[in-house]
Each structure stands twice: as C-alpha cells, then as structure tokens.
Chain A
Amino acid sequence: MSAAEATANRAAGAAVEVTDVSRWYGNVVAVNGISFALDPGVTGLLGPNGAGKTTLLNMIAGFLKPSAGEVRVLGKAAFGAPDIYRRVALVPEREAVYEFLTGYQFVQLSARMHGLPDADAATVRALRTVEMTDAAERATGGYSKGMKQRVKIAAALVHDPDVLLLDEPFNGMDPRQRLQMMALLRSMAEEGRTILFSSHILEEVERLGENVLVIVAGRLAASGDFRAIRKLMTDRPHTITIRSSDNRGLAQTLIGEESVFGVELADGKVVVRTTELSAFVATAPRAAQAAGASLFEVRPEDESLESVFEYLVAR
C-alpha cells in the first residue's frame, strides 16, 4: 500500500470500527458489548483462552455475524461482503492446511484465487517474506506447526492486504521465528497497514503491540497504550503468603512498611497485601531481618494471567 493510500484510509475513518458488538450462541454470550476502533499500526488482542478473541476476530474478518452492534472494515460492513478480502486477510488459529499441496502450491493457490496478475512472483515474494523458500517444494502435510503457521501467513500476505488479522500467530514458532515474525509485522505496520493479532501470552503482546485490547469473558477489560495497561497490571493489589520462623513478629514489622496495606495471620502463614510489588520484594528480607525471623517460603498467590484479567475487569 502506498503512503497516499494509507493517508486516504486514515481520512476515510478508522480501518476497523467495532461498535457495541455482541455475539451470543443460545444462552452463552461469547462477546459482550465491545466497542473500539483501529488505525494503522499493530494492536494486540490479549485475553485468556475462551475469552472471545477468536469470535471477535472472526466477526472483524466477516466470518461471523454480530448478534448486536456493527463491525465495519475499511468503511464496509464486514459480514457477507467478499469484496473486503481484496484488502483484508485473516490467518486462522486452526492448523489445518491442504496437506496434499506443497507450500508453494498452497500460497500460489491463494494468489490465483485473488486473481493476481503475476501469481508466481507474488508467491515467491510471500514465501521469502516468511523465510519458507527452502521448504516450499515439500508437502504441507509434513510441516511442523511453526512451518504451517508461516505458510498460512505467507498465503495471507500474498495479495498485500491493508488489514491483517492474525489469530494466535506465534503458536508453534520457535523464538527466532517469533522475533522474525514480530519484526515483519512491525515493518508492515510502519508501511501504514492495520494489524490485529490475538494472543493469550502477555510477553508476546508486550513485545509487539503498541496498542492493546484486553478481553476477558467476552468483555473489553482495558484498551489503549500497552505501557499504561502494563502499569495497571503491575500496580494492582498483590497477595503474598509468607511462612517464617516467627510469623507474628514478621507481621508486626511488615504492617509498618509503606508498600504494605494489609497483613493477616492465618493457618501458620502471614498473608500480605501490597500494591507495589517491586518495593515489597526489596522490603520483605529487610523486615524479616528486623523481626529476627527466618523466611521459609514467599509465595505470590494470584499471579496467573486469569487473575490479572479478572482484576482489570473488576476495576
């Protein structure tokens, strides 16, 4: 896409507009009243498994009709409009590919279905972009998970889309491939493309997404600049349990610390609540020394991604 086209896109409004969108299956609500708009750049869609990320991506890709609300991509309603695929591409999460085709044939099929004037040149370019030229003549049925993922991305990139939607794109990739793919997505975003990728892994989003949408139980828990959301996640209340040789003495010392806002004695443990985790990590050994207590165990109680997401939703 040229810079002029990218500018035209911006002038015409957001590349992706999701307005009060819900999707339910019978009594189960998969996506609940979500609204956001995406401009060119990389956005990470972060959430635990089953949060509704795939449902949301499928609605944006025009493969699911919202039960309520509206999804517009490049100014058009996404569902039931095959024309949008001239400028939009989806990399699905499912591993399935046509296993009897070689990698080259698989990408070439995509190029030919798009009616590209030089399907072979586009195929070679896309395979080179994802570093799959060496394995291009092998049947995709024999590919590893990471190779399938890359050839799927090549098939999606072959027509040079303006909007690229990727569902858990880094699954199965080794660290080097991940870094290479992240660099590729970043450079595509710099060219003015709109890229939305989903992940349940915080670090992936942290490395790539300038903007982030956090989705939990079908609802948008947070959105915006990743650093601000990361701060929210870090500064949330943390619960830490400590076992020591003198729980009562340690509790008395800890309650005087600035980083601690709650201490409780329970079942042979000290349960501490803090909003400043890094400060507490520095404080705890000093407090133990002051109380003359030996620390046997220091365990954070709610560090799972799900509990972080629950906190964001509850705010």
Chain B
Amino acid sequence: MIGLVLTLTLRQLLGQKRTLFLAALGLLPLLASVVWRLGDGDAPAAEFAAAVPLNALIVNILLPLTALVLATAALGSEIEDGTIVYLLSKPAERWRIVAGKLLAAWGATALLVLASAALSGAVALAGEEGWRILGGFLVALAAGSLAYSSVFVLLSVVTSRALLVGLAYAFIWEAVITNFAPGVQRFSIREFTASIAEAVSDASPWVFDADLGATYSVILIVAVTAVASALAVQRLSRFELGEAP
C-alpha cells in the first residue's frame, strides 16, 4: 500500500506545472554561483558557497518553499479535488497512506533541493578547497526536507489553507521573527538544518557558523518528523469527507 501511494503521488507531483516552476527556481543558486565564478569575488569559495547559494538561497528560501508546495499538494490537493476518497475507501491502516504521501513529498523535495545544492555548490567549489561544506549541506538538506515535509503534510490534513499557514511559518516566523527573538530559533526547522550542515561539514566558524547545537537539532528534527507524522495519521483516521452545506 505504501509503495502504491508513493508511486501514485510521485506521478501526481512530477506531472504538475508547479513542480516545473520549482525546478526552474532551483536554477537560481546555480546562476548565483556562475555569476560569482565569472566575477572577481575576493571571498574564499567555501565561504561563498556556504553563505550564498547553499544557506541564503537554498536553506532559507528554496527548501521551505519546495517542501511547502509539494507536501501540501501531496495530500491537500487530493482532499481538495475529492480523489482522496479512492485512498480512504480501502481497507488499509491510515498510517500507510500518510507514510506513502510523506515519502513522496520528501523524495520530490529532496530531489529538487539536493540537485540545486549539488550543482550550485559544485560550480562554486570547482578547483577550490572546502568541498566538505557541500557534503554537510547535502546531508542537512535531506534531513530538513523530511522535517518540513512532515509538518506541511500535517498542515494539509488540518486546514484547507495549508499553503497560507505554511508560508506564514516559513517566511514570517522562521525568516523574520527568529531574527529578532533569538530564543525562538529553537523552534525553527531552518535553524536545525543549518546546524546539521555546520556539524557534518565540520566547517570553521569563518566559513559557516550556525546558532544551535547539532545534537539538539538532530533530536528536534527527528521529534518534529515523528510528532507531525503521528498527528497526520491521527487526523486522517478521523477525517471527514464533504463540506458543510
């Protein structure tokens, strides 16, 4: 059942125009790296790669946006157009449906984000030192994709305005509020992702410096994924079809 839902959802997601738009957006970090290589930037390649394409463009923008669009489409669009009935009218535990949807959203998000990171990082670091920073970001982005996807899949079962709520979380809470209130960084998947990137790449502080501890971030990413997935299963088990007249 999980495999069937996963395959079905991947076909749904990869055939949509919004996925093409996200793929095009994923070329922006690559463009930034190309422009930097063509120019005469003074900063070391590793420092540029970490700061601009990988962190500023991918962790801060591309990752949450891609996860939001794909994860809410994975389940939310089926709820919206009514095709969810074809999944729910089967004698299968609801966790299998959520698992299939989450794996598809995670896979599609990771595919787009990791491809963008690998390409933009490779262009920036070609012939230079500091490739470990790219490895660190690839691991962190895979983990961050999972946490974001699970939260946004949950949102799509909880509210019909999942996209709006997700945008508010990613671009108001994480991008603005956490900058002015340092304590709330502990509730930001973006910060968890950056911390894992720093820890895995073992980067010097002058190359890349995150605000949270890596162990704490890994625990939180696992916890966020587990709790969001469990809540999504619980919501889907009590899900009601149809709308108020």
Given contacts A94-B82, A96-B81, A100-B11, contact A113 B87 (CB under 8 A): yes
Task: List the interface of chain A (C-beta within 8 A of B).
Answer: 25-26, 28, 30, 50, 52, 54-55, 58, 61, 63-65, 80, 82-86, 89-90, 92, 94, 96-98, 100-101, 109-110, 112-115, 155-156
**B245 contacts the other chain (CB 8 A):** yes
Chain B's nearest CB lies how many Å from the CB of A74? 13
Q: How many whole Å from A179's CB to the nearest CB in chain B? A: 27
Q: Which residue of chain B lies nearest to A152 when distances are taken between CB atoms in the complex? A: B86
Quick one: given A98-B8, A100-B12, are A58 and B90 in contact (CB under 8 Å)? no
List chain B residues, Cβ under 8 A from A115.
1, 91
Which residues of chain B have C-beta atoms less than 8 A from A96's C-beta? 81-83
With contacts A82-B92, A86-B91 taken as known, whether A28 is within 8 angstroms of B12 at the C-beta atoms is no
Given contacts A25-B244, A58-B242, A82-B93, contact A92 B85 (CB under 8 A): yes
A217 CA to B85 CA, complexed, in Å: 25
- The A-B contact count (CB < 8 A) is 80
Q: Known contacts A80-B238, A83-B91, A85-B91: does B85 contact A26 (CB below 8 Å)?
A: no
The residue from B88, B239, B245 contacting A28, defined by CB atoms under 8 A apart = B245
B residues 55-103 with Cβ under 8 Å of A?
81-83, 85-94
**Quick check: is B241 within 8 A (CB to CB) of the other chain?**
yes
Which of chain A's residues has its CB closest to B242's CB?
A58
* Smallest CB-CB A-B distances: 7 pairs: A25-B244, A63-B241, A94-B82, A113-B90, A96-B81, A96-B82, A85-B91
Of listed B11, B12, B91, B92, residue having the most chain A CB within 10 A: B91
30 A–B pairs (Cβ distance < 8 Å), ordered by A: A25-B245, A28-B244, A28-B245, A30-B244, A50-B245, A52-B245, A55-B242, A63-B85, A63-B242, A80-B237, A82-B90, A82-B91, A82-B92, A85-B89, A86-B91, A92-B82, A94-B82, A94-B85, A96-B81, A97-B83, A97-B86, A98-B86, A100-B15, A109-B4, A109-B86, A110-B90, A113-B4, A113-B92, A114-B91, A115-B91
Asked if B129 is at the interface (CB within 8 A of a chain A CB), the reply is no
Main secondary structure of the interface of B (DSSP, over half): loop
Minimum C-beta distance from B187 to chain A (A): 32
Cα separation A155 to B85 with both chains bound (whole Å): 12
Interface presence of B240 (CB below 8 A): yes
Closest Cβ–Cβ distance, residue B192 to chain A (whole Å): 34
- Apart from A26-B244, A112-B4, A113-B4, what 12 extra A-B contacts exist at CB < 8 Å? A25-B245, A54-B242, A82-B90, A82-B92, A82-B94, A85-B89, A89-B89, A90-B89, A92-B85, A94-B82, A113-B90, A155-B86
